[in-house]
Homo-oligomer: A and B are copies of this chain.
């Protein structure tokens, strides 16, 4: 989004705090233009009768109030994506309470690519970090983007391994993207911006706040087909992410460990609650394959012939065609959910039936 187009969004984002308030306005009025065109009497209830923000909406957006954002958006690496944009990640749009505006630094097209979240303890064991690295590099090698939260520990191990493997990774921040938290990850954040993407729903300048971390966690799972919990204590942030993932209808995967390790307890609790126990990355790929409904989905297996595609898959493949097409278009054409379409596309890509094109688009290869 160009700065001029962004200003009306940034103005509303600032007035509402960016989350539920802005979503509510959009649902009520239908578009940003309609919000600005609304009479005072209709706006007032949305602001609980508070005159000041209503006055501000009625006064209209003023580019002069967004100098920080103007400078930030001048950097071609930085982007703003609104929920009404085609480029908004389709899986994220599906969750309860999707963020209306996303700040992105890096490769914006990655947001629509099939992602697996890899999360876990901020104080992992050496073995836990090794596991995070091994899964992360195998998942990226299989064509998945590894998404995590830029935190210390497992998050950092997962991001770094994806980068080291030449793969792609997305970090979802709980601060404005002009800050890096924790500051020890400044270098890592730069690498991610260069080779992947940083994402935040929070305005520039937003410092780390306790209440923002669970909001951030719902984006990590919301962007992803599933969440892998590598190591986690009971009552940890990773378990919150896993719960949010389950509520969003995403797969939850957990790595078991010794019954004497406190960091395995969280994973064991998840497995008891129905998370899939996984020993290696192919376990995850198989499960995502089953999700997409493939008969044989293990990586390295022969590409399925038409006979092994079920009817829904065959129909989706026919909808794709040989010109690049966006996921949203396929969702509209097929009537399937974005989650279903994304995982079917991922598996078709792994099987070489289609290929990903710039801009989150796909086309048939044969």
Contacts and interface: CB of A to CB of B under 8 A. Distances in A.
Interface of A: 127, 131, 255-260, 264-265, 268, 271-272, 276-280
Nearest to A256: B256
B272 A268 contact: no
Contact of A271 (B127, B259, B265, B271): B271
22 contacts: A127-B258, A127-B260, A131-B259, A256-B256, A256-B257, A256-B258, A256-B259, A256-B264, A256-B268, A256-B271, A257-B257, A258-B258, A259-B278, A259-B279, A259-B280, A265-B279, A268-B277, A268-B279, A271-B277, A272-B276, A272-B277, A277-B277
A257 B260 CA distance: 9
Nearest to A279: B259
Contacts of A258: 127, 256-258
Interface centre among A256, A265, A272, A278 (most CB of B within 10 A): A256
A277 B265 contact: no
A290 to B, nearest CB: 12
A131 B259 CA distance: 9
Nearest to A271: B277
Contacts of A272: 276-277
A265 B256 CA distance: 11
Nearest to A131: B259
A259 B277 CA distance: 10
A279 B234 CA distance: 13
Contacts of A276: 272
B268 A259 contact: no
A27 B150 CA distance: 69
Q: Which 6 interchain pairs have the tightest Cβ spacing?
A: A256-B256, A259-B279, A271-B277, A272-B277, A268-B277, A257-B258
A259 B278 CA distance: 8
A57 to B, nearest CB: 54
A280 B256 CA distance: 15
Contacts of A255: 259
A277 B272 CA distance: 7
Contacts of A256: 256-259, 264, 268, 271, 277
Given A127-B258, A256-B256, 12 more contacts: A127-B260, A256-B257, A256-B258, A256-B268, A256-B271, A257-B257, A258-B258, A259-B278, A259-B279, A265-B279, A268-B277, A271-B271
A279 B279 CA distance: 18
A265 B277 CA distance: 11
A138 to B, nearest CB: 13
Contacts of A131: 259
Nearest to A135: B259
A125 B176 CA distance: 49
